[in-house]
Amino acid sequence: MVTATWWQVWRFAWPAILSNISVPLLGLVDAAVLGHLPSPEYLGGVAIAATMFSMIFWAFGFLRMGTTGLVAQARGRDDLDALGKWLLQSVMFALAVGLVLILCSPLISHIALSFFDASKVVSGQAEIYFQTRIFSAPAVLINYVLIGWLIGMHRPKGPLLILVLGNGVNIALDLLFVLGLGWATRGAALATVIADYLALAMGGWLVYQTVRHEGVRLSSVMIRDIAALRRLIMLNRHLFVRTLCLLLVQAFFTAQGARLGDETLAANALLMNLMVLISNGLDGFAHAAEALTGEAIGKNDRGQFYQVVRVTGWCSLVCGGLFCLLLGWGGEVLLGWLTSIPAVAEQASVYLPWLVAMPLIAVWCFWLDGVFIGAVRTDMMQNTMFLATALVFLPVWLLFREQGNQGLWLAYTIFMAARGLGLIWVYGQFSKRDVWFATRHDLV
């Protein structure tokens, strides 16, 4: 049993780690390409626009996370109708949201850019990037659904193929459009749009093959089931609020960096790209926890559930320690690769120690996010995130705001620690009261 669980976790984790790391590697390539242009305005503009897209796309991250938990539990119950219904309803919802975002893009851009208070030149570059990349919205959101569905169906290599294809094309087009054709910011955005739609085509093909192989039932009646759609949205509203809190922190972090100058903004952008690399790497074990704990709850198997939690926890801790060693040993070298602007590299080097400590501080919240997603107990994820934002991040920043960027990094680090501690406490309480296996009529 124990050996089988370790094998299952690693079967999920290694493709998830590779696929997740490919996402921030794309951001690092963007940063490296734009960071070697003559002025920091390009890097700063893309940093702001990328934060805007994080706020937009990640706000709908429940399309990935919620789908995984629901599908994993349905698979554990061997409910073929539910598997088809969660897929179709989530895809249609994602398509509708993507089209609305395109229609509302001028208003969204105007409101978002006014929040950052960056220089006029940097804001102009951000506007160019935003108005080009927004056309990828339907592809990105539908891919969230497809990736979540494949993880829940125990197809971890599917997301790897989708993301590696998309990000590989994106990197190649980045180099062609920005360095080869000199299209700068617009070229970086256009490369992303093309790559996102190619990734969507790959995801659709993989899901189609899985549906045929598993005998999942699909019907147009499922799309018209308004009661089921309402239940899907209500179940995922907690993830929506939770993600908005996280994005508020990220946007606030970027905005405060912008107020400290273009060089500080660019330096923070480099470090946050590395932070995303860390979080996505650690999320590989969270994905394993999502699929395997969800399946265990669907089967009502307590032994499997707690064994998966233990194994994914140990694996996450080891992975976090390795990231600490990697950044401590090679962080300065990485920064040298990412930018040739001396002032930006110097600024980033000053704040690098915060990033070196981050993996072992943040690992707990990434790991337990996977457990709570698999259990579809996203209400607790929302509550702990809200408390960490309102009662930890903002008060700590206000207390240390006179320390400038150091105070900003301190607030962010304590915020990540608070997220993990909150989830650890809730996990202990749920385990004592056996809440994980309580009857959930809202999932039927």
Write out pLDDT tens, residues 97-116. Answer: 999 999 998 888 877 777 66
Q: Are 367 and 312 in contact (CB under 8 A)?
A: yes
Element at 340 (helix H, strand E): none
Q: pLDDT: is 53 or 415 the higher one?
A: 415
What percent of the chain lies above the pLDDT cut of 90?
31
User: What is the DSSP secondary structure assignment for residue 204, as one 8-state letter?
Assistant: H
At 119, is the secondary structure helix, strand, or coil?
coil
Residue 419's pLDDT band (boundaries 50, 70, 90)?
very high
Question: Is the pLDDT at 32 greater than 70, yes or no?
Answer: no
Residue 383 pLDDT: 95
Structural domain including 282 reads 2-443
Q: pLDDT: is 174 or 182 the higher one?
A: 174
Mean per-residue pLDDT of the chain: 84
Residue 421 pLDDT: 97
Q: pLDDT: is 431 or 112 the higher one?
A: 431
Residue 384 pLDDT: 96
What percent of the chain lies above the pLDDT cut of 70?
90
The domain total for the chain is 1
Residue 57 pLDDT: 79
User: pLDDT tens digit string along 330-386?
Assistant: 888 888 777 777 778 788 888 999 999 999 999 999 999 999 998 888 889 999 999
Q: pLDDT: is 2 or 137 the higher one?
A: 137
Question: What does the block give as tokens for 325?
Answer: 């060693």
Q: Are 359 and 324 in contact (CB under 8 A)?
A: yes
User: pLDDT tens digit string along 38-90?
Assistant: 556 666 677 777 777 777 877 787 888 888 888 888 888 888 888 888 898 88
Angle at 241 between CA 235 and CA 243, to 5 degrees: 105
Which whole number is the average pLDDT over 426-435?
92
Q: pLDDT: is 291 or 277 the higher one?
A: 291
Alpha helices in 215-301 (DSSP H): 220-223, 226-259, 262-299
- Angle between helix 62-77 and helix 378-388 axes, rounded to 10 deg: 150
Element at 341 (helix H, strand E): none
Alpha helices in 117-183 (DSSP H): 120-133, 137-152, 157-174
Question: Is the pLDDT at 139 greater than 90, yes or no?
Answer: yes
Question: Is the pLDDT at 441 greater than 90, yes or no?
Answer: no
pTM: 0.79
Residue 25 pLDDT: 56
Residue 20's pLDDT band (boundaries 50, 70, 90)?
low
Residue 437's pLDDT band (boundaries 50, 70, 90)?
confident
Question: Is the pLDDT at 443 greater than 60, yes or no?
Answer: no
Residue indicated by tokens 């969507």: 200
**416-431: burial string, b at 16+ Cβ within 10 Å, e else:** bbbbbebbeebbeebe
Most confident of the ranges 215-224, 227-236, 392-401: 392-401
Percentages helix, strand, coil for the chain (3-state, rounded to 5) are: 90, 0, 10
Q: pLDDT: is 424 or 271 the higher one?
A: 424
Which whole number is the average pLDDT over 196-222?
88
Which whole number is the average pLDDT over 403-413?
94
The span from the CA of 138 to the CA of 102, in Å, is 9
Residue 400 pLDDT: 94
Question: What does the block give as tokens for 356?
Answer: 């070196």
φ/ψ of residue 103, rounded to 5: -65, -35
Most confident of the ranges 85-99, 117-131, 158-172, 381-395: 381-395
Residue 28 pLDDT: 56
The residues, any chain, with a CB within 8 Å of residue 296's CB and separated by 6 or more, are 76, 302, 304, 305, 308, 374
User: pLDDT tens digit string along 299-314?
Assistant: 888 989 999 999 999 9
